[in-house]
Chain A
Amino acid sequence: NAGVTQTPKFRVLKTGQSMTLLCAQDMNHEYMYWYRQDPGMGLRLIHYSVGEGTTAKGEVPDGYNVSRLKKQNFLLGLESAAPSQTSVYFCASSSGMRAFFGQGTRLTVV
């Protein structure tokens, strides 16, 4: 019963460093999403995918890239981290009925 698993759970980056967040789901869902959560702003969609090999921009895509080479994995990359990207990141997957969320990744950029 793993559901949606995010790696890592916590990370501290220096400004300008790069990193990749991994999201893995074992429910065979077509749709996958990356959100960021900031105080007072709810969750905002960064990028999403409607199937293997596809990606699309969400509400706040700048500074991020994504890839979905395998159906079960959705990667979120930060090429050059900025303090404004300090946030909690949530991955989600869905078959359409409802979204299942990972535990979140707390990222701090100093």
Chain B
Amino acid sequence: AQKVTQAQTEISVVEKEDVTLDCVYETRDTTYYLFWYKQPPSGELVFLIRRNSFDEQNEISGRYSWNFQKSTSSFNFTITASQVVDSAVYFCALDTSNTGKLIFGQGTTLQVKP
């Protein structure tokens, strides 16, 4: 079975706090791709990152960083020094076919208070 679990339904933090969004995935495939998308209140889906299963290097992009650990089947997302504009729903997703066909987690709603 292929599945993505985002156990945190809602997270609330105060601006400038660091926050980590958890993502756990299940697949028997050895080649797969993991994604994070952001959905701001306006509703569109914004691509954040794509990571393939052979690349376990952590990635940092500005205030965003991603920790991929195959041993625990996790692909966690950390926002450092959060800002109000980070308030959104964040989705983790899995692609085992490399066609863009995605299996989504339930999403985590992040609220950053000023």
Interface residues of A (CB under 8 A from B): 29, 31, 33, 35, 40-45, 48, 50, 88, 90, 92-101, 103-104
Bound complex: CA A52 to CA B72 (Å): 39
- B77 contacts the other chain (CB 8 A): no
Which of chain B's residues has its CB closest to A97's CB? B50
Contact of A98 among B50, B91, B106, B107 (CB under 8 A): B50
CB distance from A4 to the nearest CB of B (A): 10
Question: When the two chains form their complex, are residues B104 and A42 in contact, meaning their CB atoms are under 8 A apart?
Answer: yes
CB contact list, B74-114 vs A, under 8 A: 91, 98-107
Contact of B91 among A29, A43, A94 (CB under 8 A): A43
- Measured in the bound complex, the distance between the Cα atoms of B47 and A29 in whole Å is 17
- The answer to whether A50 touches B99 (Cβ under 8 A) is yes
Contact across chains for A92 and B106 when beta carbons are under 8 A apart:
no
Starting from the known contacts A90-B45, A98-B100, 18 additional A-B residue pairs (CB-CB under 8 Å) come to A31-B100, A40-B106, A42-B91, A42-B107, A43-B102, A45-B101, A45-B102, A45-B103, A92-B102, A93-B100, A94-B100, A95-B100, A96-B99, A97-B100, A98-B47, A98-B50, A100-B47, A101-B44
| Top-10 shortest CB links A-B | A94-B100, A42-B104, A99-B100, A101-B45, A43-B104, A42-B106, A31-B99, A31-B100, A42-B107, A96-B98
B101 touches A42 (CB 8 A): no
Which one of B98, B102, B107 has the highest number of Cβ atoms from chain A below 10 Å of its Cβ? B102
Q: What's the dominant secondary structure at chain A's contact region?
A: strand
Chain B minimum-CB-distance residue to A59: B103
In the assembled complex, the Cα of A100 lies from the Cα of B44 at a distance in Å of 10
The interface residues of chain B lying within 8 Å CB-to-CB of A100 are: 47
Interfacial residues of chain B within 30-79, with CB under 8 A of chain A in the complex: 35, 43-45, 47, 50
Report B102 CB to chain A, min CB distance, Å. 6
Chain A residues whose C-beta falls within 8 Å of the C-beta of B100 in the assembled complex? 29, 31, 33, 92-99
A36 to chain B, nearest CB (A): 11
CA distance A61 to B91 in the complex (A): 22
